Amino acid sequence: LEAQTCRLADAPAQTKCGQPLHFCSNIDFKEEIPSIRSVGARGVGLFRSENLFIDNTKPPQEEDQTAYYKEMAEELFPDPLVIRLFDIGGDKLIYSTIREPNPNLGWRGIRILIDVPEILDSQLLAILKANDKGNIQILLPMISSIEEIMQIQSSLKRHVDNLNTIGLSCCEPDIGAMIEIPAAVLIIDEITRMVDFISIGTNDLTQYTLAVDRNNEIVQDLFDKFHPAIIRQLHTIITTANKNGCRVSLCGDMGSDPLALPFLVGCGLRVFSVVSADIPLLKTLGRHLDVKESEALARECLSFDSSEKIKAHLKEFQMRHV
Ligand code: PEP
Ligand code: MG
């Protein structure tokens, strides 16, 4: 497999039956961009922009953000740059000095962006000013309701109108929602009708579905992305997005797991955003997959009532097909 992986690094990503797959990179800093091309990544599917916070506490200036995003977008063009709006709070950056009893269930992501317009407005304006080439897309973290999406969509529209009024025409970026809270999965039909794309965050989706803190070592054995509750949600999300003509990708760590790949392809997923170093192996594994066989595998996995049975079945499939 290793030899094949090296040989196929430059080959197009596709299944054995010729279905194209797309692998893009998750990055934290612009300095990572030069290295993503060498592994065959098709752009950046997740830029965790909260890494721009100064000393982990202060939002960056609008002008500094504009310059930073512009440099990234130009370097990546014509491939896309998906900028996830600051996902601060929770287990991540400490924006607020308020001590929260349960930060992962507290003031985090989209909630802070809506409550503190200065932060949201400067990030949206910076993105609009940086999007000369039109390859930037906006991803909203921690979405749990359609109202949250509508608020950001109307803020973005207001900024576009304002810039147009002063003679600065700009390319309006596509807007997508992170699907990482079970509430968003239950209203996925509505969400996928109102956004341009969705990206599945399996790290938080697992945390919030199973009520297992992703950073708490005591319960790490319960943090199980192959739990039937996760497997079934993934199938619902992907099939609903495809039915509604909404682009869907997955940017959680699950996208890098070779065991998960055939199941996800079988559900209808074609776009993966992962740590760059994992792309060559995933491309190689993708070349061993037949879509019809993967679809049958996905159906079988959906019928199992335990993670152990799902994992055993995926391992057996891997043995037969790689
Ligand atoms: C996720 O939750 O799966 C995700 C990709 O976002 P993060 O790990 O940054 O919370
Ligand atoms: Mg997340």
ipTM reported for the complex, 2 dp: 0.99
Residue 244 scores a pLDDT above 70: yes
Residue 102 in marked binding region:
no
The alpha-carbon radius of gyration of the chain (Å, integer) is 20
**Whether the bond into 78 is cis, omega within 30 of 0:** yes
Among 49, 51, 110, 178, residue to substitute to test ligand 1 (most atoms within 8 Å of Cβ): 178
The band of 5, judged by pLDDT with boundaries at 50, 70 and 90, is low
> Does the pLDDT at position 56 exceed 80?
no
pLDDT in tens, 176-224: 999 999 999 999 999 999 999 999 999 999 999 999 999 999 999 999 9
Contact 53, 93 (CB under 8 A): yes
- Pick the atom of ligand 1 nearest to 26's CA: 5
CA–CA gap between residue 283 and residue 294 (Å, rounded): 15
CA 130 to CA 47: how far, in whole Å?
Answer: 15
pLDDT band at 12 (very low <50, low <70, confident <90, very high): confident
- Tell me, in angstroms, the distance from the centre of ligand 1 to residue 203's CA: 5
Nearest CA to ligand 1 atom 8: 203
Own/partner pairs, 55-59, CB within 8 angstroms, 24+ separation: 56/93, 56/94, 57/93, 57/94, 57/95, 59/86, 59/95, 59/118, 59/119, 59/122, 59/123
d(CA 229, CA 206) in angstroms, rounded, equals: 9
Which protein residue has the closest C-alpha to ligand 1 atom 6? Answer: 201
| Sign of the alpha-carbon torsion through 143, 145, 148, 154 | positive
Residue 48 annotated as part of some ligand binding site: yes
Share above pLDDT 70 across residues of the chain, in percent, rounded to a whole number: 95
Q: Which residues are catalytic?
A: 251
> How do residues 15-42 score in pLDDT, each as one tens digit?
999 999 999 999 999 999 999 988 989 9
- Structure confidence at residue 220 (pLDDT): 96
Is pLDDT at 68 greater than 80 in this prediction? yes
Is residue 50 in contact with ligand 1, taking CB distance under 6 Å?
Answer: no
Q: Is 214 annotated as a binding residue?
A: yes
